[in-house]
Structure 1
Amino acid sequence: MTPRVLLSRLPFRTRLAAAIAGLFLLAGIALLAFVVLLARYGTAQQAEGISVTYGDVPTDPTTPFEPAHPTRLQHPPPVTDDVAVVEKIEQTVQAVQDTALRQMILWSAVGLVVLALFAGFLGWWLAGRALRPVAAMTDAARRISEQNLHQRLSLTGSDDELHRLADTFDTMLDRLERAFESQRRFVANASHELKTPLAAQRTTLQVGLADPLPVHLVDVREDLLATNREAEQLIDALLLLARSDRGLDQTESVDLVATARLVTAELAPLAAVRGVRIDSGLDTPLVVRGDTVLLRHLLTNVIRNAVQYNCPDGHVRVRFDATTVTVTNTGALVPAERIPDLFEPFRRLDTDRTATTGHGLGLPVAASVAEAHHATLTARPGPKGGLIVTLRFPCA
């Protein structure tokens, strides 16, 4: 892992504090180097021309000792055992200079590291203070969902970048709240506005075309009634999709195993007509929090899809474990790249999945219901054909 990738995974506050400490450290190193160069140059200039003369010390204690001044020594005395004259002691001056520089660099470096750590801690604290409004906005955004879109950030303070960001977010919430309210009104009114005319139409067909009828009108009546039923099923599926998309109003404990038993019993006639065997392994208990009606529709759509798009003498297997439901069926080979199309409304893979057997809303509705329950619905091709559909709920 490269340092850039590792750094990018750190929290923003940590990266900001590290950047402040790093800039302080670089600035301190540059200042220290500048001071060292000037100090070395200055001491070298002062050391030039220095001469040191040592004379013998008088033996008479009453005679004051006066060291020879370098300017008075026009002709230095010859070097003897009692007199030592050393001029321009470059080695001594250089040694003193190097020692002083080393000590200065050592303690300056120690102080620089300590101050850099302090600057990093101070940067961490300042970053926390600066990002406190962002943290408050994040907490508020997490609390806001489709059930409480009336809440707002309502950030107070000066008109700065964060305040404008909060105002923009509140404006977006206003638009979302209006959109959700419009959807709720549609779901509440669509059932009556769309299904009532269909029910009246079905009653008219049944009464107006009641037996006895001429032979040529019997088929017409059955076709009209079949069309009416399909329209009702389509509307029911669309309303269910809209209901699941807007989330769950309330939840309760749902026994999926018991629900699956009811679903398989309801689909047994369809399976018998198509020559499909349903094998249910319903021994492992699975209880989740959710909407009973929506979860029943979810299992119904998935298992009906497995029965409906099968082959003669095929089978459907339903298996449960601690957190997942797996539905496997036989059938034609399904290309893996076409799997996402199955979860798009009104999409079918080929002409075999015709409108006479459905509307292409089974798996899309099931996926929407799963998402409303924070579950995932995935599918993959079976090794010998058909699909393996997995419904995975979050761990309790």
Structure 2
Amino acid sequence: MTPRALLSRLPFRARLAAAIAGLFLLTGIALLAFVVILARYGTAQQADGISVTYGDASTTRAPTFEPVRPTRPDRTSPAVDDVAMIEKIEKTVQAVQDTALRQMVLWSGVGLLVMAQVAGLIGWWLAGRALRPVASMTEAARRISEQNLHQRLSLTGSDDELHRLADTFDSMLDRLERAFESQRRFVANASHELKTPLAAQRTTLQVGLADPLPASLVDVREDLLTTNHEAEQLINALLLLARSDRGLDEPENVDLTAVARLVTAELFSQASAHGVHVDLSADTPLVVRGDAVLLRHLLTNVIRNAIQYNRPGGDVRVQLDITTVTVTNTGSRVPAERIPDLFEPFRRLDADRTATTGHGLGLSIAASIAEAHHAALTAQPGPEGGLAVTLCFP
């Protein structure tokens, strides 16, 4: 893994603290190099400017003439001694200068590393202080959902970038709350405005075209009543889809095992008409948190689909365990790449899924209800044909 990739995996707070420590270290190294170069240059200039005085001929007494004595051949003259002394002094000064520079570089480097760590810790603390409003906004955003869109961040403090970001987020929540309220009103109004005319139409057909009727009108009446019934079913399915997309209002504990038994009992006549055997097995009770009406519709849609798209004499197996519900049938083989299309509204695989029965909304409604309950609804081809639909709760 490259250093860039490793650094990108660190939290933003750690990266910010590391950047502060690294910047401090780089500037400290540059400052230390600058001081060392100037110190070496300055001491060299000072050493070159030092003058050594050995005496002045005008201020000394005139030497007295004494008898010349023979000198020893191994005795060093004063001039040679002075030159040696100067060289010794220069070497000493150079050694002192080198030692001082080395000690300065050593201890300055140690101090720089220590201070870089201190700067990193201070940077970590400052980053935490600076990012505290961001953390509070993140936590508030996690708490806010469709059921509590009235909550706001309401960030206090100076009018800076973070404060403006929080105000923008609050404005977005205002627009979302108005949109959800508008959707709720639409669903409530549509439930009455759309179903009432259909009910009146059905009553009119039943009363106005009551028996006795000419034989030519009997089939017309039955077709109109069938169309009316299908329209009611479609509207109910769309309203149920809109309700499940809106989320849960007041979740409660639901015994899904009892719901499954009730649904299989209700669909027994339909399964018998298709020549399909439905088998329910539940090893342990499955109790989940959610909406009992929506969960009942979910199981009804999934099990009805398994009955409707099955072969004559086929089987439907409904199995419940601690966290999952699995519904399998023995219908025709379904290509794995076409399974995602089953969860799209008004989508069917082939001519077997005709428009004469159903509207292609069963599994899409089931998937929406599962999402509202934070559950996962998946499907895969069965080993002997058909589908194996699994509903997994957290």
| Number of the residue aligned with 1:136 | 136
| Number of the residue aligned with 2:285 | 285
Query: Aligned partner of 1:290: which letter?
Result: G
For the residues of structure 2 that align with 1:179 and 1:231, how far apart are their CA atoms?
27
Distance of aligned partners of 1:110 and 1:224 in 2 relative to their CA distance in 1, 3 Å threshold: same
Distance of aligned partners of 1:330 and 1:92 in 2 relative to their CA distance in 1, 3 Å threshold: farther
Counterpart secondary structure, 1:357: coil
Q: State whether residues 50 and 87 of structure 1, in contact with CA within 8 Å, keep that contact through their aligned partners in structure 2.
A: no
- Paired residues in the alignment total 373
| Number of the residue aligned with 1:88 | 87
- Mean CA deviation greater in 16-25 or 310-319: 310-319
For the residues of structure 2 that align with 1:72 and 1:311, how far apart are their CA atoms?
127
| Number of the residue aligned with 1:346 | 346
Query: Aligned partner of 1:121: which letter?
Result: L
For the residues of structure 1 that align with 2:249 and 2:31, how far apart are their CA atoms?
64
For the residues of structure 1 that align with 2:37 and 2:339, how far apart are their CA atoms?
70
Residue 46 of structure 1 deviates from its aligned partner by 4.5
Query: Aligned partner of 1:251: which letter?
Result: P
| Number of the residue aligned with 2:370 | 370
For the residues of structure 1 that align with 2:92 and 2:379, how far apart are their CA atoms?
85
Counterpart secondary structure, 1:141: helix
| Number of the residue aligned with 1:314 | 314
1:268 aligns with 2:288: no
For the residues of structure 2 that align with 1:350 and 1:220, how far apart are their CA atoms?
29
Query: Aligned partner of 1:103: which letter?
Result: Q
Among candidates 57, 76, 79, match of residue 78 of structure 1:
76
| Number of the residue aligned with 2:146 | 146
Residue 308 of structure 1 deviates from its aligned partner by 1.4
| Number of the residue aligned with 1:219 | 219
Q: State whether residues 282 and 321 of structure 2, in contact with CA within 8 Å, keep that contact through their aligned partners in structure 1.
A: no
| Number of the residue aligned with 1:65 | none
Residue 256 of structure 1 deviates from its aligned partner by 0.7
Residue 87 of structure 1 deviates from its aligned partner by 4.2
For the residues of structure 2 that align with 1:73 and 1:109, how far apart are their CA atoms?
48
For the residues of structure 1 that align with 2:45 and 2:321, how far apart are their CA atoms?
86
Q: Determine what percentage of the aligned residue pairs are the same residue.
A: 80
Q: State whether residues 286 and 320 of structure 2, in contact with CA within 8 Å, keep that contact through their aligned partners in structure 1.
A: yes
Q: How does 1:109-124 map to 2 (within 5 A)?
A: 109-124=109-124
Distance of aligned partners of 1:86 and 1:393 in 2 relative to their CA distance in 1, 3 Å threshold: same
Residue 14 of structure 1 deviates from its aligned partner by 1.8
| Number of the residue aligned with 1:391 | 391
Residue 277 of structure 1 deviates from its aligned partner by 2.2
Q: State whether residues 50 and 88 of structure 1, in contact with CA within 8 Å, keep that contact through their aligned partners in structure 2.
A: no
Q: State whether residues 205 and 225 of structure 1, in contact with CA within 8 Å, keep that contact through their aligned partners in structure 2.
A: yes
| Number of the residue aligned with 1:294 | 294
- Mean CA deviation greater in 162-171 or 112-121: 162-171
Distance of aligned partners of 1:321 and 1:73 in 2 relative to their CA distance in 1, 3 Å threshold: farther
| Number of the residue aligned with 2:61 | none
Q: State whether residues 48 and 88 of structure 1, in contact with CA within 8 Å, keep that contact through their aligned partners in structure 2.
A: no
Q: State whether residues 317 and 328 of structure 1, in contact with CA within 8 Å, keep that contact through their aligned partners in structure 2.
A: yes
Counterpart secondary structure, 2:148: coil
Counterpart secondary structure, 1:385: coil
For the residues of structure 1 that align with 2:380 and 2:55, how far apart are their CA atoms?
105
Counterpart secondary structure, 1:278: strand
Residue 92 of structure 1 deviates from its aligned partner by 4.8
Instruction: Point out where structure 1 has 5 or more consecutive residues left out of the alignment.
Output: 52-68
Query: Aligned partner of 1:140: which letter?
Result: A
Residue 49 of structure 1 deviates from its aligned partner by 8.7
Q: State whether residues 49 and 88 of structure 1, in contact with CA within 8 Å, keep that contact through their aligned partners in structure 2.
A: no
Query: Aligned partner of 1:88: which letter?
Result: E
Counterpart secondary structure, 1:355: coil
Residue 103 of structure 1 deviates from its aligned partner by 1.8
Q: How does 1:219-238 map to 2 (within 5 A)?
A: 219-238=219-238
Q: State whether residues 24 and 119 of structure 1, in contact with CA within 8 Å, keep that contact through their aligned partners in structure 2.
A: yes
Counterpart secondary structure, 1:325: strand
For the residues of structure 2 that align with 1:331 and 1:197, how far apart are their CA atoms?
38
Deviations 1:289-318 (A, max 9, x none): 111100000111111111112223322222
| Number of the residue aligned with 1:166 | 166
| Number of the residue aligned with 2:329 | 329
Residue 157 of structure 1 deviates from its aligned partner by 3.6
Residue 105 of structure 1 deviates from its aligned partner by 1.9
Residue 19 of structure 1 deviates from its aligned partner by 0.9
Instruction: Point out where structure 2 has 5 or more consecutive residues left out of the alignment.
Output: 58-74
Distance of aligned partners of 1:102 and 1:259 in 2 relative to their CA distance in 1, 3 Å threshold: same
Query: Aligned partner of 1:96: which letter?
Result: V
Residue 205 of structure 1 deviates from its aligned partner by 1.9
For the residues of structure 1 that align with 2:356 and 2:303, how far apart are their CA atoms?
18
For the residues of structure 1 that align with 2:283 and 2:273, how far apart are their CA atoms?
27
Deviations 1:190-228 (A, max 9, x none): 222111111122222222222333333222222222111
Query: Aligned partner of 2:261: which letter?
Result: R
For the residues of structure 1 that align with 2:328 and 2:3, how far apart are their CA atoms?
46
- Mean CA deviation greater in 291-300 or 88-97: 88-97
CA RMSD of aligned residues (A): 2.5
Residue 70 of structure 1 deviates from its aligned partner by 5.8
| Number of the residue aligned with 1:259 | 259
